[in-house]
Structure 1
């Protein structure tokens, strides 16, 4: 029985994905996951302010996100237009 349970756990963990796993803390990743943000493309559809409103996202997370997005030539939605 334990063997069966361990394989179920492995499948569940694999299904979660690893978007920004090495960049953000778990709380920030969960906040993005809750909003179904699992790619830079989806993240670029939000403004910085919208992301900052998520529980688990603070200045440190935002700085990491902006740096990572800049490296990949992606930016947050521009709300000044």
Structure 2
């Protein structure tokens, strides 16, 4: 199943809150953002980062 670029993937409530708090509301906004920057957000773990990367890869995009 292909993820939408207009929504965040299903990554769990803490990670979703962390992204929303940092101003990210759509997958497309995460393209090019350094993985290390996202990892610093409280609630963002390695599993969530892997899910985000996989969702971006489906669209030919990447984390920075």
Into which bin does the TM-score normalised by the smaller protein fall? 0.7 to 0.9
Moved over 4 A (4+): none
Equivalent-residue separation in structure 2 for 1:69 and 1:38 (angstroms): 14
Displacement after TM superposition at 1:41 (Å): 2.6
Displacement after TM superposition at 1:30 (Å): 0.6
1:47 corresponds to 2:34: yes
Higher RCO (Cα < 8 Å, 6 or more apart): 2
Q: TM-score, normalised by structure 1?
A: 0.64
Equivalent-residue separation in structure 2 for 1:73 and 1:38 (angstroms): 19
2:39, 2:49 within 8 Å by CA — same for their partners in 1? yes
1:19 corresponds to 2:7: yes
Unaligned runs of 5+ in 2: 1-5
Q: Give the superposed CA RMSD.
A: 1.7
